[in-house]
A and B are shown apart, each in its own frame.
Chain A
Amino acid sequence: MKQSGTSALLQGAVQDLASGVASALRGGGHPSREPLDAPLRPTGDLDLAAARVLGADLLLPGVLDHTPPPGARELDLARRAFDAYPPPATAAPTVAWSHWALGRALHRVTGPSGTAPAPGRVPEPGPEPDASWLTGAPWPSLTHHLAVLAPLALPVEDCALTRVARGRTLDVARGFVRAVRRRDWYQAAGAGRWLTVLPDVPHTLGLPGGLDFVELMGGGDSRVLLQVRAARLIGSGVTV
């Protein structure tokens, strides 16, 4: 299906942002590959929208240890996206959680032990959204939603959502299998990342090989690549 012009532009902007983060996760410099003291180029609506799509993962290199800190551009984008898109009370749960996760990441990287290049701490994002909707979700739906919220799959993250996920490891593993079977590489990569932080993953799943396979088949999509690299880093024991 032919995409509309705006949609294609947005997807391109998201790919650019994700590519920078994926590169940084592999040690390829901070996401934007621009000097920290470089003047910020103007930020358009498209950039903000792309930052909203990528969410907290825009700051992932600054959240995980042993990865480059976020660039000034990413931090600026993240702050502005957080302020520009407050979820309405009627927002879908994934939208609310995504926004909360972005606030959480901003709080982390701007805190005393954070890696933000500029001062100005961002406060805690406020109370957690409700996670009960996910408790009884069928496993395919659970996996779909968790993949969308993969930025919350972090080593020490403890929130209502991660607590639900920790109780459903086998279902997420099944979701990973289903996603690979369906050639839904983005969902597979997100589920794979979650599995690196969940307990008691069946060893027969073969997650490391599965991540390699997802990268092989779907790594041309920067968002997939980002999740696979994040999963490998987290799986290797990197902490926040």
Chain B
Amino acid sequence: MTAADVRRTATADARETAAVDKGPAAPPDVRRTVRAVQEAALGWLSRNRAHFALGDDALARDGRVDGSWKPLGELAQVCATLSVRTPASDPLHACVRDLLAFAWRQTGEGALFLEVQRAEPFATYPLEVYAAFASAGLRHPGYERAAATVAATRGWRLTEQLPTRRLGVLCAERQIGLRRDDNEPELLARTWLGGLPEPWTFERASGYALTHVVFHLTDWGRGGPGLPPALADHLAHWVPAWLVTCLEGGLWDLACEVAAVAAGVPAAGTDATFEAELAGAWARIAAVQFASGALPEEDGRFAAEVPREETVPRRDGAPASGESGFRLCYHSTLMAAFAAGLTLARWDDPRGAQPPSSPAPGAHHGGMPLTHRARRDAPVGTRTPHRTTGGTG
């Protein structure tokens, strides 16, 4: 099936999905569209994985974290989830494990985290990146001991961060077994999503904040304590409107993140519109995905920010060749693969949004919204810089 075929099929599927009655199901052709998007995205990421490699500046005191550790951590985070949510017999499972192994090698199999910590002992981003690997079983005991020493200080615990970022650090700590007594429900309530905002106040920045709260609570689709009932209801009500307006606005990166969130909303609380919008989103995403597999971050950015000849990847399917082109589409391509994997997993699992390692459904809806029982890791963030502890300088 050619890319054009996929797009034609996807358009037809979008019409068909309007007839979806209830529950997490989708016509086979829609599933094929989602799968095609995921395969193409992972193919591009694999061909361009060299761009994720840590450079000499990764350990520099004034190094740009956003251009080194951040992309690598995001690659690890996505692949850690996809390796869990993809059957071992699936060729894509081997693909994401290979990417994960590549990323782990970039860290010296964990040894570089120790070096980064020596340079910036109270920076939180190394722990967040490390936690992504740890969630996939890639661990470095020496770094974990060092991280525990630092995390035991009052200064570490008093690091000033926005609530969403703070939730991410707490998740990272739990991922490697560190505990503290922060009042997480109170912290959650101070996030944009946790405060149950009026849905019409959604904008780009709040959109990224909300997706990350969900990623923290669901361990990036791998488990976690899940969504408190009020949050799950809020998402079940308003995600269709947020998703559609991201798609209509050409915000492809954010749309994929919102689709990933949608895939994690317990199916029991959703309706036909919700399920149809999640399925229908893939026709639009497939339609803007380049033949190479890369997904533009948003409409207009290529033309506005890079010279025409550097509009990478080209539609002829050539892999990205320039660093600038890579930076403009790597994250959205990662999110496309991520959201596609979670969407397919939602449809594969008769329980809907329940990841394989998650607690029983009842555990998601009873008692406190966040517990310290479940293991979670930290996201590596997306549009928010990691350096929140004073940086390397």
Contacts and interface: CB of A to CB of B under 8 A. Distances in A.
Interface stretch (B161-169, B197-205, B259-267, B369-377): B197-205
B200 A174 contact: no
Interface stretch (B240-248, B324-332, B342-350): B240-248
A178 B273 CA distance: 14
B248 A202 contact: no
Nearest to B199: A177
B120 interface: no
Nearest to A192: B200
Contacts of A174: 237-238, 240-241, 273
Contacts of A180: 200
B237 A140 contact: no
A170 B271 contact: yes
Contacts, number: 55
B146 interface: no
A216 interface: no
Contact of B238 (A139, A177, A182, A210): A177
Contacts of B202: 177, 181
B199 A204 contact: yes
Given A173-B237, A178-B244, A182-B248, A139 B200 contact: no
B245 A205 contact: no
A139 B198 contact: no
B200 A177 contact: yes
Nearest to B234: A204
A204 B248 contact: no
B368 interface: no
B198 A204 contact: yes
Given A139-B273, A170-B273, A210 B200 contact: yes
A171 interface: yes
A82 interface: no
B244 A140 contact: yes
Interface residues on B, range: 10 to 19
User: What interface size band does chain A fall in?
Assistant: 20 to 34
Contacts of B271: 170
A209 B241 CA distance: 18
B236 to A, nearest CB: 9
A4 B144 CA distance: 71
B189 interface: no
Nearest to A142: B273
A215 to B, nearest CB: 13
B121 to A, nearest CB: 42
Interface in B221-266: 233-234, 237-238, 240-242, 244-245, 248-249
Given A177-B199, A181-B200, A170 B237 contact: yes
A218 to B, nearest CB: 13
Contacts of B249: 181
B196 interface: yes
A139 B275 CA distance: 13
Given A170-B237, A178-B241, A182-B245, A138 B200 contact: no
B4 interface: no
Interface in B328-371: none
B18 interface: yes
A44 interface: no
Interface string B272-308: 0100000000000000000000000000000000000
Contacts of B248: 182
Interface in A127-181: 136, 138-140, 170-171, 173-178, 180-181
Nearest to B18: A138
Contact of A204 (B196, B241, B244, B273): B196
Contact of B245 (A181, A188, A206): A181
Given A138-B18, A182-B248, A209 B198 contact: yes
Contacts of B242: 177, 181
Contact of B241 (A177, A210, A213): A177
Rank and list the top 3 A-B pairs by shortest CB-CB distance, nearest first: A206-B198, A177-B241, A180-B200
23 contacts: A139-B240, A170-B237, A170-B273, A174-B241, A174-B273, A175-B241, A176-B200, A177-B199, A177-B202, A177-B238, A177-B245, A178-B241, A178-B245, A181-B202, A181-B241, A181-B242, A181-B249, A204-B196, A204-B199, A204-B237, A205-B200, A206-B199, A210-B200
Interface of B: 18, 196, 198-200, 202, 233-234, 237-238, 240-242, 244-245, 248-249, 271, 273
Interface of A: 136, 138-140, 170-171, 173-178, 180-182, 188, 202, 204-206, 209-210, 213
